[in-house]
RNA sequence: GGGCCCCCUUCGACUAGAG
């Protein structure tokens, strides 16, 4: 049985949820471990609803199951759910507390994160790192630094967490770099984060320097470096990096497809898309955008309808494709059929109306928007 | 009698949509 448990987990880690589920059903009498593994598998692959279903259907649950489900809600940004479950939990361990702490931190709520942090019965490295990341994410540089100095367990990971948080918080580009250069040593994650940051500024030389200084360059690091050239619009550079990569994955291929779409080399994009071993929502969405730009709405629709899964982003892309090519009614209809809508989707619809001359409707939409930027 | 480890939970860095 525990070999099968391991197999379920293995498939889940590869993102093959269906395979994982099939193996689960092969297990003769699934034990609590098996159920927990399945629960986590769904949660970590973004299927919160299915995870909740599994949680409800489990024959028994333990602290691990509860931690897994609150973590899933935290990942989906449903803090209320996290909190209500957390408060009703019969026992909690440091992991439960860490989940709550991290949830507040990721929301950018340093005050509540601190409250949780102070209430916790004990702390480990994860707690310390989550707290400094929360500070960094809110731009509380001084507090982050102060806490960093007081962590009893010294680890690069803590520095790395701060750097990454600064990178995520777009207002703190300078701080991220400063922090990075103060680190006692560099790990792959912080270096990659800095390379990504430099890609946004077109800091080609500096990015290359950081990249060259890395001890071990994995695919993720290479992908980040590839993006630097892509974002700087440097064709030969991008192609040279792409071809010298020791390993490529779906992110590398998707980045190149994106590059070609953005630069109007749609034939190259198409060739790349067709020659690549697998497609996902990223590459399909890029192709939808690409087809729309060259006026081939039918092909865009074909990609959209054949996608393995779709999300807000791909729905917005296909709706925008219709709108840009003059099919405003269809675009609006697509908007209505979307399962969820974010600011970008709303803005898309808003401009569609505005450009169709429907100013009153546009104004109404603006007032209806749940959030604005 | 007690502790630790064993198959599960906190898990970090890279790609897509409107303006």
pLDDT in tens, A220-233: 999 999 999 999 99
Those residues with Cβ within 8 angstroms of residue A261's Cβ, 6 or more apart along the chain or in another chain: A269, A286, A287, A289, A290, A293
Which nucleotide lies closest to A352 by the C1' atom and the CA atom? B18
Nucleotide B19's nearest residue (CA vs C1') is: A347
Which nucleotide lies closest to A262 by the C1' atom and the CA atom? B16
The Å distance, CA of A348 to C1' of B18, is: 4
Say how far apart CA A330 and CA A304 lie, in whole Å.
14
Which nucleotide lies closest to A95 by the C1' atom and the CA atom? B10
Q: What is the pTM of this model?
A: 0.87
pLDDT of A267 strictly over 80 = yes
pLDDT in tens, A98-139: 999 999 998 889 999 999 999 999 999 999 999 999 998 888
3-state secondary structure of A143: helix
Give A327-332's long-range contacts (Cβ < 8 A, gap of 24+).
A327/A297, A328/A352, A328/A353, A328/A355, A328/A356
Prediction ipTM score: 0.84
pLDDT in tens, A133-147: 999 888 888 899 999
The Å distance, CA of A189 to C1' of B13, is: 4
């Amino acid at each position: 049985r525990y070999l099968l448990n391991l197999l379920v987990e293995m498939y889940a880690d590869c993102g093959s949820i269906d395979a994982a589920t099939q193996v689960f059903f092969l297990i003769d009498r699934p034990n609590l471990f098996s159920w927990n593994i399945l629960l986590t598998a769904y949660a970590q692959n973004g299927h919160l609803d299915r995870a909740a279903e599994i949680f409800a259907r489990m024959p028994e649950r333990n602290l691990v199951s509860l931690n897994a489900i609150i973590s899933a809600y935290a990942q989906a940004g449903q803090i209320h759910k996290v909190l209500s479950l957390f408060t009703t939990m019969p026992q909690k361990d440091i992991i439960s507390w860490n989940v709550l702490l991290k949830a507040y931190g990721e929301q950018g709520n340093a005050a509540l994160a601190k409250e949780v942090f102070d209430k916790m019965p004990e702390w480990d490295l994860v707690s310390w790192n989550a707290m400094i990341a929360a500070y960094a994410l809110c731009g509380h540089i001084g507090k982050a630094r102060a806490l960093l100095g007081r962590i009893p367990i010294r680890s690069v990971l803590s520095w790395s967490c701060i750097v990454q948080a600064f990178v995520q918080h777009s207002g703190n580009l300078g701080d991220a770099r400063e922090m990075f250069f103060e680190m006692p040593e560099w790990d792959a994650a912080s270096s990659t984060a800095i390379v990504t940051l430099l890609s946004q500024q077109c800091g080609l030389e500096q990015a290359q320097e950081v990249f060259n200084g890395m001890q071990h360059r994995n695919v993720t690091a290479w992908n980040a470096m590839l993006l630097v050239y892509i974002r700087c619009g440097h064709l030969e550079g991008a192609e040279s990096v792409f071809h010298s990569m020791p390993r490529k994955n779906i992110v590398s291929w998707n980045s190149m497809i994106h590059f070609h779409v953005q630069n109007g080399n749609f034939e190259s994009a198409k060739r790349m898309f067709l020659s690549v071993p697998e497609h996902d929502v990223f590459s399909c969405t890029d192709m939808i955008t690409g087809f729309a730009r060259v006026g081939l709405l039918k092909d865009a629709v074909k990609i959209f309808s054949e996608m393995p899964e779709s999300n807000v982003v791909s729905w917005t892309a296909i709706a925008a494709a219709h709108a840009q090519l003059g099919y405003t009614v269809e675009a609006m209809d697509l908007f209505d059929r979307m399962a969820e809508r974010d600011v970008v989707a709303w803005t898309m619809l808003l401009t569609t109306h505005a450009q169709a001359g429907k100013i009153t409707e546009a104004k109404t939409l603006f007032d209806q928007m749940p959030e604005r930027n």
